[in-house]
Structure 1
C-alpha cells in the first residue's frame, strides 16, 4: 500500500492505494511549508489524517504540495510525515510534478497549470527537465485566473469596457476604487481575489471585448512559457486547472496559432496521479 497526497494551500487530498484500487480517501487542511513550520504540519497530520487510517502503514508516501519547491521546505513536510509514519519512506515534491505525472503519465510532454496562478514544465516521462519560472501575480502568472482578473479590472478602472459590461461588472461585485485596491493591496490572498473575476469573464466570454482578453491571456502564456521548451510542437501540451478547463475553446484556438497539439485538459490531478502510481505498482509486482 502507498499513500498519495495532493496538497494545496486550502486542502490536501489523500489516497491510500495499491495496484487494485483506492482503499482510503481522506481530505485534510491545506499545507504550504512556505508559511508554516514542521511542528504545525505535524499537528495537522496528527489531528486530521491519522485517525482515519486505523493503524494502516503505507510502505511509501508520495507527497506533492504547494510550496514544496526547495530542500528546506520539503524537509519540513518530510519530518512531519516521518514522525507520523516512522516506518514509511516519504517522498516530497512540488505540485508541478504532480501535474506532470497526472497529465503525462510515463510519457514525455509539456505540463501546464492554469488555475488561480500558472506554471509549466517540460517532462520526460519521469521527471521535470525544464521549467520556465512562474513569477507570481505581480509580474507573471500569464494564463491564470488572476491574470484574467487583472486585465478585466484594469480595463474597468481605465474606462475601456463598453458601458453595458462595466455596469454589469460594477453591479455584480459592488465595485469601487477603494474595494478594488483593498482587495489587491490589503488582502492576504490578492491573486485569489483577482481570480474571482474569471467567473464573470466565463459568463461573458462570447462578448468580443472579453473574448479578446481571454485570447490575449493564453497568447501571452504560450509565447512566454510553452514556446520556450525545446520540441514543444513535437510532444503533447497538457493542461490542468479550472481556467484551462472552462476556457478550453479559446485555449485550443491559441494552440493552433502556435502549431501546438493539446493532449489532455483536466481540472484536478488526483485521478491521473492514482493511475500513474498504480501503473508503477503493477510494473513492480
Structure 2
C-alpha cells in the first residue's frame, strides 16, 4: 500500500494505492514544519489520519509546503515514522510535487500560481533550476497575494476605477489601520492579502480587472519563466487555484508571448497519483 500526500499549510490531500491499483482518498488539516514540531504533526496525524487507514502502509510519498531544508523534511519524516513505523517515508517540497504532477517523467517548466507563486526547470527526474520566488513582499508575481496587494493599494491610493470602489468597500470594508496591522504586525500577512484577490474573480469581465490579472501573469513570465534556458522550447505547465480559475487569461498571456502552455491543474494530487501508480 502506497500513501501519497500533497500538503499545504491549510489542508492535506492523501491518496492510498493498494496492491491492485485501487485508489482511495483522505483529507486532513495541513502541515508545515516551519510552524509545527514533529510532536505536533504526530498528534494531528494520530487524530485525523490514522483512524481512516486500516491497511499496512509500505511506502509514503509526502510533498509539503515548508519542506525545503533537510531539517524541515526530517521533522515531517519523524512524525510519519511515529505513526507508520514499518513504512519507508520520503518527504519532498511542493515544487517537486508540481513538477512530477504536471510533467510526469518528461522535461518541462513547472509553475505554481496559487496563494504564492513558484517555478522550476525539470528534466523529467529532478529539478534542474529554480528562480527563487522571494515571497509576497519581493516576488510571487501573479499570485493571489500579489493580486490582493494590488487591489488594496489601488483602493487606498484611489487608482481603482470609481465604479469598482463601492463594490470593493461593501465586500471588505477595508481600512488603512486594519491593513497596516494585518500586513506589518500580524502573522500570515500573505493569507490576509490573498483574500482580496477573490474580488478580481467576481469582476473579471471589467477591463481594468482583466488587465490587472493579465499584467500579473505577464510579470510572472518576465521575472520567472523567461529566465530559464531555452524556455521557448520547453512545455510549460501550471498548478494552483489562481492559474486554474484564470486559465483563459493565463493562456492568452502565453500566446501573446509566443509560448505554449500545456497542463493547468487546480491541485497536483491527481498527477502525483499517476506518477507513483506504476511503482
> How far is 1:25 from its partner?
1.8
Structure 1 gap ranges (5+) = none
Flag the 1:57–1:138 CA change in 2: closer, same or farther, 3 A: same
Structure 2 gap ranges (5+) = none
Residue aligning to 1:76: 75
> How far is 1:200 from its partner?
0.9
Query: Is the partner of 1:272 in helix, strand or coil?
Result: helix
- Distance, in Å, in 2 between the alignment partners of 1:14 and 1:210 is 35
> How far is 1:258 from its partner?
2.4
What does 1:248-259 align with in structure 2 at a 5 Å threshold?
248-259=247-258
Flag the 1:14–1:175 CA change in 2: closer, same or farther, 3 A: same
- Distance, in Å, in 2 between the alignment partners of 1:23 and 1:171 is 45
Query: Is the partner of 1:6 in helix, strand or coil?
Result: strand
What does 1:110-129 align with in structure 2 at a 5 Å threshold?
110-129=109-128
- Work out the number of aligned pairs and report it: 279
What does 1:1-285 align with in structure 2 at a 5 Å threshold?
1-18=1-18, 20-54=20-54, 56-278=55-277, 280-281=278-279
Q: TM-score, normalised by structure 1?
A: 0.93
- Distance, in Å, in 1 between the alignment partners of 2:273 and 2:20 is 11
List per-residue Cα deviations over 1:55-89 (Å, max 9, x = no partner).
Answer: x2222110000100000100011111122222211
- Distance, in Å, in 2 between the alignment partners of 1:172 and 1:29 is 28
> How far is 1:20 from its partner?
4.3
- Distance, in Å, in 2 between the alignment partners of 1:115 and 1:277 is 24
Query: Is the partner of 2:67 in helix, strand or coil?
Result: coil
Structure 1 residue runs of 4+, over 3 Å off? Answer: 18-24
- Distance, in Å, in 2 between the alignment partners of 1:206 and 1:12 is 33
> How far is 1:215 from its partner?
1.4
Flag the 1:266–1:256 CA change in 2: closer, same or farther, 3 A: same
List per-residue Cα deviations over 1:93-133 (Å, max 9, x = no partner).
Answer: 00111111111111111111101111111111121111111
- Distance, in Å, in 1 between the alignment partners of 2:22 and 2:8 is 21
List per-residue Cα deviations over 1:11-43 (Å, max 9, x = no partner).
Answer: 111111046444442212211001111111111
